[in-house]
Amino acid sequence: MRVLVAVVLLLNVSCSVNILENFAEKTSNDALYFDAKKLIDGGDYTAALAKIDLMTDDFEAGRGITTLKAQAHAGLCGLNFFDFVLALRNLGSQKMLQFLVTNFRSGAVTTKFDHCVTAESLIKGLGAVGARSLDENLLLLLVSFTKVGQILSFYADADQNGTATPAYDVCTIATAGTRTAGATMPDEDAREVGTGLTVAMESLTAVAGQIDLGSGSLDSLASACSSAPAGYNFCTKTTAADFTANELLAIRSFIREGSAFGLDLNGCAGGSVSGSASCRCF
């Protein structure tokens, strides 16, 4: 009894030391999950991924951990879930791509959107859109938009002020593997812009009516796709490798257009892809 009283007294005397801490299991999968989630909530995404890497392979492969890993990569890409949801609800009449450039600053760092590519791949790997949960589709929607914003910020916003450079030439194709901030975009990143848009549309359809994102303001996405000329409609494809050369030109054109959706670049003067040759890359 005296020993027990002494232990209780010690616990009460010092709130900064937990004498039971040395006996706690810190390396179990559940403990690592708890730590990783806490780190993500605190914005330490790299440390969270390090915790996930310590989990056993079968546990790490689980659906919940896959989603947690995607959240960490999304954070490294620049996604702040709650802030971006609020921004989307206040989208109003802003053009979508300019809105994304305004909300995401790559800081001229390609690793940011590479993390978004990884997050997107992890969530898509959980199954087709109809097999994913509401939360999974919402996360994928936000990740896809973040990816588009970071890529366009890297290339089209040379001074990183949140506004695309009007003279930026999105139609010129950079050599494969060449990534230079403020310079021409290679097709591999144009492909990622394309899937960012098509996956976002697919996910938006899945969450519509269940979550209020101000999605009525996103109608320009579908409208822009339906206006694409024959042979240039990329909007049904959600895998980057599937786009044809003409569809890649259409993706670049939608970045360039200025009527309702794009960045209004390089002489487009507010025109649309279907209505103005100066807004097309083909």
What are the boundaries of each domain within the chain? 25-61, 73-208+226-279
For residue 161, the model assigns a pLDDT of 95
Reduce the DSSP state of residue 282 to 3 states and report it. Answer: coil
Nearest to 101 by CA among 46, 49, 42, 168: 168
For residue 260, the model assigns a pLDDT of 83
- Within 10 A of 80 (CB to CB), how many other CB atoms are there? 15
Amino acid at 159: D
Helix, strand, coil share (%) of the chain residues, nearest 5: 60, 0, 40
List of the chain residues with pLDDT < 50? 1-24
Nearest to 66 by CA among 129, 117, 136: 136
Angstrom distances, CA of residue 6 to CA of 11, 15, 19, 20, 147:
9, 15, 12, 14, 57
For residue 9, the model assigns a pLDDT of 30
Element (H, E) at 137: helix 134-156
Place of tokens 């588009």: 148
Give tens-digit pLDDT for 202-221: 998 899 878 777 555 566 76
- Tell me the C-alpha distance between 200 and 78, whole Å: 17
For residue 1, the model assigns a pLDDT of 36
Residue 186 DSSP code:
E
Q: Rounded to the nearest 5°, which phi and psi values hold at 185?
A: -100, 130
Nearest to 138 by CA among 221, 74, 59: 74
Give tens-digit pLDDT for 63-88: 999 999 999 999 999 999 999 988 98
Residues 6+ apart with CB under 8 A from 94: 102, 217
Tokens for 112, please give them. Answer: 């940011």
Angle (nearest 5°) at CA 279 between 244 and 225: 50
In sequence order, what DSSP letters do the residues of 49-109 get, joined into one string? HHHHHTS-HHHHTSHHHHHHHHHHHHHHHT--HHHHHHHHHT-TTS-HHHHHHHH---TT-
- Tell me the C-alpha distance between 13 and 23, whole Å: 20
